[in-house]
Every structure is written in structure tokens, then in C-alpha cells.
């Protein structure tokens, strides 16, 4: 986001050999100079901001493994799970079911946690789910101004923009401006409800079902539902744009 990622590949390759002696990296070292860090003879202030987070992370992991505090195989499978199993496809299934089945929708809006469990998503933060419905006169937008609370089991890990200072600061004071940046313009008389996730409740927006989808199956409907529409920064359209 704010950091440039230049020369990261080279740095990572270099890491493999350098980790064992990663001393001093918790403080500062300039990119590509990590090997010198044990000498540590340059002038600097010891600071919090990691100058080389990749190296510092590797040093931490190596230490934790050596001390028997983490199992590296468990770390590998966790990374894989977050990359492949947990994502907006889960939330899209919930939305599609709600569109296709009015009684499910009713249960979902009344007790989201229970209704989501019907589809097999019973884990973690889904235990405290709330679903808020968009309509012709109401538009919902989800934010976490204090950190990065987000319905992980249903949407996966949040995108960078959701965690950005820009979004977190502005969503509550200028939601129309924020929506405008996402290309969403709402009629003047639409009420905007912003949900700031300050406790352990997690919010999912139930977007409006687009016209022209009457004959679609639940699976076809789910394919239209984007992550952004379930956060409230996009509407669902029949012509889905890639990646949103």
C-alpha cells in the first residue's frame, strides 16, 4: 500500500541463507545489507517500523520453530486454507440462497448465525453474524474504523482497501463520497446505513438481486455476487466485472 516492493524477489532468495544469523534485524537494516547487520556499525535510531519485514518474519518463524512453539507444517496448511478455502464464494452462496428462497432469507435476516450454519459455515466469527439488507431506499456499508473486523469465514481476509486508513476514516463521515469512488451513485432519497464493527458482531450486506436474473439457478446467482457487493461498496449486476 504505502511501501514500495522493489527488489523483493531477490531479497527473498537471499533470505534463505541468511536467516540463521538474522541477528539485529529486529531493529533496522537497509535492503540488501542484511548480512552486515551483525556488525551493526552504522548510525541509526532503533525503530519500530521493520525495514525488511520478510527477513524479520523469517527470523521470527525460525526462532519459534527452534523453540518448538509452532509446527511449520501447520503454518503451511493454514496459509493454504486462507488462500484456497476461505473466500467470498462462501458469502456468495449465502446471498444466492437468500435470493432464491424467501423463507431462507427471512431466517437469515432474523438470525444470520443460525441461517448461515444451515449452509455449513459454523466456524469462528460467523458465530456472531448479522446480515443487513439493501433495498430501493436503503443501502448498507460495512467498515471497521478501529481495526480490520470483517466476516472472515464468509468473505475471506479483507482486501487492502478495506483495511486502509482512507476507507476506515471516511466511510463513517462521507459514505456517499466513498461510494462515489467505487462508482456507486445512489438516489438522493436512499438512506445510507454504515455499520462500524466495533464489537464481535460481523456484518454481511445482502445486496439487491439484479433484474433479469429470474430464471437463474442458485449456482448461477452465486456467480454474480461479488465480495464488494457484500461489503456494500458495489451493486450486483448481471455483467460481473472481474475481481470485484
Partner 1 sequence: VNGIHDMGGMQDMGPIRYEKNEPVFHEPWEGRVYVIRRAMGAWKKWTTDHARHEIEKLPPSDYLRMSYYERWLVSTENLIVNAALITRDELESGKPAAGSAKATPPLKSADMQTVLVRPKVTRPDANVKAKFKQGDRVRARNIHPTGHVRLPRYARGKAGVVHQDHGIYVFPDTIVAGQGEKPQHVYSVRFEARELWGPQASPRHAVYLDLWDDYLDHI
How would you classify the pairing of strands 191-196 and 202-206?
unpaired
Q: What is the C-alpha separation between 153 and 117, in angstroms, rounded?
A: 11
Q: What is the C-alpha separation between 214 and 235, in angstroms, rounded?
A: 17
Q: What is the C-alpha separation between 221 and 218, in angstroms, rounded?
A: 5
- Site for partner 1 contains 35 (CB under 8 A): no
- Site for partner 1 contains 14 (CB under 8 A): no
Instruction: Judge whether 149 counts as a catalytic residue.
Output: yes
Helix (H) or strand (E) holding 191: strand 191-196
State in angstroms the smallest separation of the CB of 95 from partner 1.
Answer: 20
- Out of 7, 32, 81, 110, the only residue in the binding site for partner 1 (CB under 8 A) is 81
Measured from the CB atom, the residue of 186 and 213 that comes closer to partner 1 is 186
* Catalytically annotated residue among 144, 197, 217, 229: 144
Instruction: Judge whether 144 counts as a catalytic residue.
Output: yes
Kindly identify the residues of this chain, within the stretch 121-150, that bind partner 1 according to CB under 8 A.
123-125, 127-128, 130, 143, 145-148
- Site for partner 1 contains 235 (CB under 8 A): no
Binding mask 150-189 for partner 1 (x = CB under 8 A): ---x--xx-xxx-xxxxxxxxxxx-xx-x--xx-----xx
What are the backbone angles phi and psi of residue 204, rounded to the nearest 5°? -130, 130
State in angstroms the smallest separation of the CB of 215 from partner 1.
Answer: 29
Q: CA of 99: how far to CAs of 75, 93, 211, in Å?
A: 37, 10, 12
* Catalytically annotated residue among 37, 77, 103, 148: 148
Instruction: Judge whether 148 counts as a catalytic residue.
Output: yes
- Site for partner 1 contains 112 (CB under 8 A): no
Measured from the CB atom, the residue of 86 and 96 that comes closer to partner 1 is 86
- Out of 44, 63, 106, 238, the only residue in the binding site for partner 1 (CB under 8 A) is 63
Question: ∠ at Cα 22 (21, 24), nearest 5°?
Answer: 120
Q: Using an 8 Å Cβ cutoff, are 47 and 80 in contact?
A: no
Q: What is the C-alpha separation between 159 and 82, in angstroms, rounded?
A: 13
Q: Which residues contact 37 (CB under 8 A, 6 or more apart)?
A: 22, 23, 24, 25, 29
State in angstroms the smallest separation of the CB of 54 from partner 1.
Answer: 4
Measured from the CB atom, the residue of 107 and 163 that comes closer to partner 1 is 163
Instruction: Judge whether 169 counts as a catalytic residue.
Output: no
Catalytic residue IDs: 144, 147-149
Amino acid at each position: 500500500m504505502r511501501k514500495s516492493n522493489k527488489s523483493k524477489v531477490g531479497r527473498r532468495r537471499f533470505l534463505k541463507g541468511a536467516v540463521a544469523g538474522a541477528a539485529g534485524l529486529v531493529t533496522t537494516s537497509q535492503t540488501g545489507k542484511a548480512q552486515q547487520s551483525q556488525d551493526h556499525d552504522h548510525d541509526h535510531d532503533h525503530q519500530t517500523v521493520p525495514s525488511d519485514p520478510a527477513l524479520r518474519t523469517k527470523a521470527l518463524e525460525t526462532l519459534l520453530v527452534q523453540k518448538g512453539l509452532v509446527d511449520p507444517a501447520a503454518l503451511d496448511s493454514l496459509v493454504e486454507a486462507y488462500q484456497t478455502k476461505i473466500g467470498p464464494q462462501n458469502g456468495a452462496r449465502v446471498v444466492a440462497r437468500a435470493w432464491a428462497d424467501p423463507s431462507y432469507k427471512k431466517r437469515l435476516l432474523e438470525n444470520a448465525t443460525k441461517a448461515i450454519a444451515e449452509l455449513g459455515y459454523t466456524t469462528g466469527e460467523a458465530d456472531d453474524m448479522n446480515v443487513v439488507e439493501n433495498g430501493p431506499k436503503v443501502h448498507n456499508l460495512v467498515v471497521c474504523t478501529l481495526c480490520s473486523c470483517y466476516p472472515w469465514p464468509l468473505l475471506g481476509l479483507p482486501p487492502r482497501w478495506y483495511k486502509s486508513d482512507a476507507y476506515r476514516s471516511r466511510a463513517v463521515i462521507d459514505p456517499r463520497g466513498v461510494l462515489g469512488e467505487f462508482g456507486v451513485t445512489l438516489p438522493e432519497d436512499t438512506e445510507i446505513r454504515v455499520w462500524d464493527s466495533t464489537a464481535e458482531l460481523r456484518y454481511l450486506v445482502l445486496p439487491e438481486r439484479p433484474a433479469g436474473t429470474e430464471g437463474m439457478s442458485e449456482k448461477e446467482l452465486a456467480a454474480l455476487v461479488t465480495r464488494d457487493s457484500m461489503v456494500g461498496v458495489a451493486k450486483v449486476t448481471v455483467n460481473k466485472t472481474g475481481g470485484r
